[in-house]
């Protein structure tokens, strides 16, 4: 399988994962290099389609789109430690 084909397959699988997310779900995200960027980018793109989903993580490394304070009714981030990606939202209330 070629690299572009592998990439397309991974993107399809990522969106299938998000098809399983329902309102009120809590998504627990690993830290550091285990941060699943493909899934969190897809979640960021689709965040307006969710309601009351929580993403819990110790230390987010990337400022994903779902960290947008204007979409917290869709996807809200709960951080157990403030880093560069989550600090602005926490300081802003």
What residues contact residue 22 under an 8 Å CB cut-off, 6+ apart? none
Mean predicted lDDT score pLDDT of the chain:
85
How many independent structural domains does the chain possess? Answer: 1
Window from 1-10, 34-43, 58-67 with minimum mean pLDDT: 1-10
41 within 8 A of 61, measured Cβ to Cβ: no
- In terms of DSSP bridges, do strands 26-29 and 75-79 run parallel, antiparallel, or are they unpaired? unpaired
21 or 61: whose pLDDT is higher?
21
Q: Which residues of 44-65 are buried (b: 16+ CB within 10 A; e: fewer)?
A: bebbeebeebebebebbeebbe
Range(s) of the domain holding residue 27: 3-91
45 or 15: whose pLDDT is higher?
45
């Amino acid at each position: 399988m070629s690299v572009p084909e592998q990439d397309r397959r991974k993107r399809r699988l990522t969106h299938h994962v998000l098809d399983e997310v329902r309102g009120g779900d809590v998504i627990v995200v690993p830290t550091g290099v285990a941060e699943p960027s493909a899934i969190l980018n897809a979640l960021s793109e689709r965040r307006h389609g969710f309601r009351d989903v929580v993403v819990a993580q110790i230390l987010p490394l990337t400022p994903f789109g779902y960290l947008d304070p204007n979409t917290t009714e869709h996807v809200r981030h709960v951080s157990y430690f403030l880093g560069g990606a989550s600090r602005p939202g926490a300081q802003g209330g």
